[in-house]
Amino acid sequence: MRFSTFLAPALAGMVLAAPRYPELEGDNTPPRSMEAMSEYFTLLASKVQASRYTTRAPSCDLSQARMPIAPEPLPPVSEGLTLKHVAVGRGTQNYTCDVGNATAVPQAAGAVASLFNVSCIAVAYPDLLALIPKVSMQFNLSTEPLLPGANNHRLGPSNAVFAGDHFFYDAKTPYFHIREGDREIGDTYCGLNSTAGDIQEIYRLTTAGGSPPSSCAGQPESFQVQYAAAYWFYAGPAPDTEDED
């Protein structure tokens, strides 16, 4: 039996999400965004077609995933760390403005996002993952608020499942809570010391949206800009649980 019997429904599930949301924001979708959506669904269809001729299941071994090269090179992953999880964050970048200053520019005030598990996509279909942040921007945020524990979220159009939360603990310290199903992956405050086995480095790639206007003219004291991005989480070695002699 060819593996396509299993792969085709799995890939189709990336398109046909069970929840009624998120929905396509058709009235607000510019032509270039529609081109990105067309590229995404064309690529997805080609993978469904190709799956008819394979007998092997796609791998979900994170050791086989390769983080893409950023347009502006990022520091390399520290020695000894391994990839633990890949997620797409979908939410808002937050900004404040000094409305009394005619020359003021927006100041970053953190972000709030839901995280969605794309670990297996990162391994098996990195070309699809490269498109998901941009394409997901054309689908509305969940009709449910972005609150911890809202695990019925799906990321349109990939149908990636909810995997945690991202917000800022203070003005400069981003916080991530990550899980896969009932299994806790980890909590981390970026910039604070981590212990062995914890998430220690996080790379943000393939960001879509999130940029503020160039000035505060006409802006309120605080506002949000929707964004999506891929996050790669790296952890240290698991702690030794063997009893010492």
pLDDT in tens, 114-153: 999 999 999 999 999 999 999 998 887 654 444 444 556 7
Nearest to 133 by CA among 154, 163, 158: 158
Q: Where are the domains of the chain?
A: 58-66+81-92+111-212+224-235
219: confidence class by pLDDT, cuts 50, 70, 90: very high
Q: What are the phi and psi torsion angles at 160 (to 5°)?
A: -60, 140
* SS3 (DSSP) at 205: strand
Q: Tell me the CA end-to-end span of the chain in Å, nearest whole number.
A: 51
Beta bridge partners of 155: 160
> How confident is the model over 90-125, as pLDDT tens digits?
999 999 999 989 899 999 999 999 999 999 999 999
Nearest to 205 by CA among 33, 71, 35: 71
